[in-house]
């Protein structure tokens, strides 16, 4: 394996060599994956079916759920498949696709969270101009820019990583293709590339973080001027979930990418990767559902309709059965 042209596959790190623990890992990841799918699909369904929620904030929330679905689907199914089939292999092209898609979704996620902070700022600090500033066209453009930023961010990192020759080994000390682990396999001097990639990521993350902090400083300043207690509660019910989601995303990503990369397989590396790959997509629907009153009301309304529809179908079937007996 002298260069990247001869590298045809990589070996991912398994959670255990014991078959029973591999099955436990599969069941745990399957439960988390299905829960994340159900939660995010439920948010998308509730928002799209309720016309009262057709506002910019919930439009961005749908995009966030789509990004969460994408990010968890990039890493977890492959890991589950490997545990179930008792293998560690991933093809070179599969590794490239995994890195590109994961960084695309993560980059777009951060950009979208920044856009959502701006949406909250306009809604609370400039309520009279909200519909003009956050019109349908502007919202679509902002969401498209967030996705485009994710694609460009991912293309830069993916191209930077896979342009390197790999010759040290093909064993990745992680349960998916992670860039810091891939850089360790390169036989070229990766110091400058690692520094450039880290500097760009920190610059992007810090820029978005500063923008979000400045937005919320102005938001909370404006909230103190609102005399109505109901107005305070309504504003906090939309701001607090977003702040929690931002904190969860940035903290887990920082733990994963700012810690030193170990030279041998480390439980801490696995835990950090699980934190930012699995926990945010799993928890985001819960955070928004528990803290947002409008989501709760729409969810109750949807469940009520489903129950009524089910009872009506059962009553119709019962009447048809009675008619046949007569």
Question: From CA 245, how far away is CA 29, in angstroms rounded?
Answer: 21
Q: Please tell me the total count of domains within the chain.
A: 1
Specify whether the CB–CB gap between 215 and 193 falls below 8 A.
Answer: no
Task: With a cut of 60, say whether residue 325 has pLDDT above it.
Answer: no
Interval 55-72: pLDDT, tens? 898 899 999 999 999 999
Closest C-alpha among 126, 274, 107 to residue 205: 107
pLDDT tens per residue, range 178-206: 888 888 888 776 667 666 776 777 788 88
Q: Residue 262: name the closest of 172, 167, 162, 163 by CA.
A: 172
- Angle of CA points 105, 255, 202, to nearest 5°: 65
pLDDT, residue 297, reads 75
pLDDT at 291: 65
Closest C-alpha to 131, from 203, 54, 66: 54
Residue 2 placed within a domain: no
Q: What is the pLDDT of residue 225?
A: 78
**Integer Cα distance of 27 and 19 in angstroms:** 12
Q: What pLDDT does 223 receive?
A: 81
Domain interval for residue 168: 9-310
Mean pLDDT of 139-155: 94
- Is 323 within the bounds of a domain? no
The CATH number of whichever domain residue 283 belongs to comes to 1.20.1070.10
Task: Name the pLDDT band for 47 (thresholds 50, 70, 90).
Answer: confident
- Both tokens of 65, joined, read 């759920």
Query: Would you say residue 181 lies in a domain?
Result: yes
Asked if the model's pLDDT at residue 5 lies above 50, the reply is no
Please report, for residues 53, 67, 240, 241, the alpha-carbon distance to residue 293 in angstroms, rounded to integers and kept in the order given. 11, 23, 12, 11
Residue 148 has pLDDT above 90, yes or no: yes
pLDDT above 70 covers a percentage of the chain that reads: 84
> 75 in a domain, yes or no?
yes
316: in domain? no
Would you say residue 96 has pLDDT above 90? yes
Cα–Cα distance for residue pair 244/119, rounded to 1 Å: 16
Angstrom distances, CA of residue 277 to CA of 30, 72, 106, 117, 322: 14, 6, 9, 22, 54
- 51 in any annotated domain: yes
Confidence (pTM) = 0.85
Nearest to 175 by CA among 104, 97, 81, 38: 81
List pLDDT tens digits, range 251-271: 888 777 777 666 666 677 788
């Amino acid at each position: 394996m002298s260069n990247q042209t001869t590298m045809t596959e990589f070996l991912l790190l398994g959670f255990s060599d014991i078959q029973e623990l591999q099955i436990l890992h599969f069941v745990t990841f399957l439960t988390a994956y299905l829960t994340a799918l159900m939660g995010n699909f439920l948010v998308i369904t509730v928002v799209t079916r309720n016309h009262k929620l057709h506002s910019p904030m919930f439009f961005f929330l749908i995009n966030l759920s789509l990004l969460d679905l994408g990010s968890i689907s990039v890493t977890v199914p492959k890991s589950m498949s490997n545990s179930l089939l008792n293998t560690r292999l991933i093809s070179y092209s599969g590794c490239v696709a995994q890195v590109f898609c994961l960084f695309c979704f993560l980059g777009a996620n951060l950009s979208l969270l920044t856009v959502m902070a701006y949406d909250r700022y306009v809604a609370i600090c400039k309520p009279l101009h909200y519909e003009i500033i956050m019109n349908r066209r502007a919202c679509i453009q902002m969401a498209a820019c967030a996705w485009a930023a994710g694609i460009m961010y991912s293309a830069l990192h993916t191209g930077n990583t896979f342009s390197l020759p790999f010759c040290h080994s093909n064993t990745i000390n992680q349960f998916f293709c992670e860039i810091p682990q891939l850089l360790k396999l390169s036989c070229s001097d990766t110091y400058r590339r690692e520094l450039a990639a880290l500097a760009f990521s920190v610059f992007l993350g810090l820029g978005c973080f500063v923008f979000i902090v400045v937005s919320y400083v102005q938001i909370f300043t404006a909230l103190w001027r609102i005399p109505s207690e109901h107005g305070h509660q309504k504003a906090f019910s939309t701001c607090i979930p977003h702040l929690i989601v931002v904190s969860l995303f940035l903290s887990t990503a920082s733990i994963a990418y700012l810690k030193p990369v170990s030279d041998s397989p480390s439980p801490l590396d696995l835990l950090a990767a699980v934190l930012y790959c699995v926990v945010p997509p799993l928890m985001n629907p819960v955070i928004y559902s528990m803290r947002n009153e409008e989501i709760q009301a729409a969810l109750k309304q949807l469940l009520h309709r489903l129950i009524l529809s089910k009872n009506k179908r059962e009553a119709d079937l019962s009447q048809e059965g009675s008619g046949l007996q007569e």
